Structure 1
């Protein structure tokens, strides 16, 4: 099975999961909130989960600040798969059921260029700094958990102000790679799983001491009427079939 075919991998569902969750739960429509960088994985896993469980998923993908605002506004939801940063907001955290969250996936940061373009040296913090300063434009999504970390890296390198003038702000993670592929920005900087796309090439990960993984974790809403179905989704996201899809999408399960 090719690792580049998450939808194909997802079709293989464990008999244990099907028997456990379809025999004991009535069909529900789950309102799911997920981080934008989980789009590929969650979309690939939705149909297999629905087929196995009988439940239906309505997934809203968004950036961390918008997720926090959505949760705090009282918008109904049943379960989330979001950056761990969401739970650092006290008001948002209060809207989840008590108890530990369940980590689903994690991924580090990297840099891309347009396919065929020269790849700058980013192997050390100094080299990375020079490459960023030399680039006329950089695409990423500042208003997100990942974007906040990228901005923090700029600050650590002492180039935050210079980078503001170079930044080509994108509306969603999935738009970063296309912006680089079309030549709208020379570099794309973000989570590596969303940087893998046609027309671009990965330069490499952030240099060691600047690297960090963003963790996407799951939790059930405190006021959901579909707690069992929500827990079934979380359990499914940790099955062998689901973790294979997550790996194929460029993320590390758990």
Structure 2
């Protein structure tokens, strides 16, 4: 006949076994909350189904710029304490969050570099921007020029205009677009010329990419990922980062207009 002490011991063993089983199941599959900026968004969308199929994890995805003042910007989300496990964003902005102690130290992985391209509405004449002179003329002849409020737009606004010596001429007809992709503004006819990271222009319907900025004034934006400090699924989050950075996935990333770092 079992004694109360024996029963208590048995119950304790069962509870420990159930806890271990639950922990094992959690290690095998989890919900991972990911926020990605637009530059890596299409690559992430293309890779996500394969990761979920291979691991059983569910990716709960959202989008927002790496910087700027909009409420969906990744730094703003972090500041108000949104529950996020992984961020994918412009490297410099990620480094800032890392230095502020908001990301897990040492978890950063560099995924890809992204060049800036320019586009027009589909069917419109395409300017030749292969040279500095051609790019300058494209800006000056446009009725309205659009650029983003993230890394590429900040570069265009604060550096490229100066390099092309067209700051004064572009006053009033060059606009920095918050949150909305530049390609959508062009497709809707609200601007007839615009520039953004190539990977953000490619998925947009109704536009045509005319080319990359000339090499002399090109800016490569680095996209990186890291685990958010306090994440309850850090092991699974690390597995996701390893997957995104894997050499075998480089071709998928390259198809979206990015230049993958893996394999180089």
Which whole-Å CA distance do the structure 2 matches of 1:171 and 1:242 have between them? 31
2-side partners of 1:249 and 1:114: how far apart? Answer: 20
Stretches of structure 2 that go unaligned for 5 or more consecutive residues are 1-23, 68-72
**TM-score of the superposed pair, with normalisation by structure 1:** 0.81
Per mean C-alpha deviation after superposition, the further-off stretch among 70-79 and 132-141 is 70-79
Distance across 2 between alignment mates of 1:57 and 1:100: 18
Aligned residues: 231
In structure 1, the partner of 2:56 is 54
Unaligned ranges ≥5, structure 1:
1-21
Q: Structure 1 CA distance, aligned partners of 2:199 and 2:119?
A: 11
Alignment of 1:64-213 (within 5 A): 64-65=66-67, 66-89=73-96, 93-99=100-106, 101-141=108-148, 143-151=149-157, 152-172=159-179, 175-196=181-202, 197-213=204-220
1:31 and 1:93 map into 2 onto residues whose CA distance is 21
Q: Determine the C-alpha separation between the residues in 2 that align with 1:26 and 1:100.
A: 20
Q: Which residue of 1 aligns with 2:241?
A: 234
Q: Deviations over 1:52-96 (max 9, x none)?
A: 111111122111222122223322211111111213436764111
- TM-score if structure 2 supplies the norm length? 0.78
**Whole-Å separation in 2 of the counterparts to 1:60 and 1:161:** 38
Distance, in Å, in 2 between the alignment partners of 1:154 and 1:27 is 49
RMSD value, Cα? 2.4
Q: Would the alpha carbon gap of residues 176 and 118 (structure 1) be closer, same or farther in structure 2, given more than 3 Å must change?
A: same
CA deviation vs aligned residue, 1:32-71 (integer Å, no higher than 9, x gap): 1211222212122222211111111112211122212222
On the 8 A contact 1:85/1:145 being kept in 2, the answer is no
Larger radius of gyration: 2
